[in-house]
Amino acid sequence: MRIQVVSKDNFASAAADVITQYLSVKRDIQVCFTAGKTPIEPYREMVRRFKNGQFHPQKVTAFTLDEYAGIRKTDPHACFQTLSKHLYQGMDWPQDQLITYNEGLSVEAAAENYEESVVRGGGFELSILGIGVNGHVGFNEPGTSFDSRTHVAELAAATIRQAHDEGWGNAPKFGLTLGIGTLRESKHVLLIANGRNKADIVARIVDGDISETVPATAFREHPDSLLLIDEQAASQL
């Protein structure tokens, strides 16, 4: 895993640089996009570049990394809505190239169907993964097997607490997520973290043991993974 440390002010631009180079390739690819707070500014920067004509994505099929169980994709709290608001709508992304979990199926069937969709399309060219304060990626919480495929996950207390802090009083306790095993098969992986509250977990990811107790360490031995962090998140390295 390569590590790139940038200033707080350059974080969004640096992340957008990495992502747009893959979105501009002239062939059909699949890309996994994370929601959450960390990628919002990078996504806004990508939209700005798109509107300014600085880049135009080719045929990119976009997959949602994870989603809360039991809610519709139109729910304002849905991860798909976060991506739509901050990325897809601003770039006029074709609707048939936006893939998320099938809300018409049971959560177990939706997970199996999603995994099949990823495999059928040839896997991911790039997976963009935000890192949680407990080291989770997607809803792959501490203790998740590194071999896991797309599955229904019980959310950790820290994940539910974050949803509460963001104004969601009755957040679900379960979610659907691409598995660590699925994500590790991506050709390229971009892990992103910023802010001083991520400094402790970033240090554990970089210098600690590779362990299922810190899910993001699964990508330390990936053949082409980049950990992009700002100076605050790197402050304990």
Q: Which are the catalytic amino acids?
A: 66, 134, 136, 141
Q: How many secondary structure helices (H) and strands (E) does the chain include?
A: 7, 10
The torsion region of residue 165 among left (phi > 0), alpha (psi -120 to 50) and beta comes to alpha
Query: Tokens for 208?
Result: 């600690």
User: What are the φ and ψ backbone dihedral angles of 72, each rounded to 5 degrees?
Assistant: -85, 155
What are the start-end ranges of the E strands in 51-125? 60-64, 66-68, 98-99
Other C-beta atoms closer than 10 Å to the C-beta of 38 total 22
Q: Do the Cβ atoms of 219 and 182 come closer than 8 Å?
A: no
Residue 85 CB contacts under 8 Å (≥ 6 apart), including other chains: none
